[in-house]
Amino acid sequence: MTNEQYEKWIKENNLFISKVHYRITFKNLGLYILNSYKFRWFPKPFGMKGKYFIEFGVNWLGWILEFQWSK
């Protein structure tokens, strides 16, 4: 699938995929800045714990600041 076909498929299915604009990684740790699907005036924290990773972050002013640790 080409990039143009992929973008067309995303628009047809009304999907939003965050894009990483900046990343800092060190071994199993990472700090990521992504664009958000929603503009929020007040910060909304989030967190997830999976079998192989832990991540937490804040969604604020149209951006997501995310910290991630891979086990």
Q: What percent of the chain has pLDDT over 70?
A: 100
Q: What is the mean pLDDT of residues 33-62?
A: 91
Give φ, ψ of 26 to 5 degrees.
-150, 110
Query: Model's pTM, two decimal places?
Result: 0.71
Smallest CA-to-CA distance from 56 within 64, 67, 65 is with 67
> What is the model's pLDDT at position 39?
86
Distance CA 11, CA 70 (A): 31
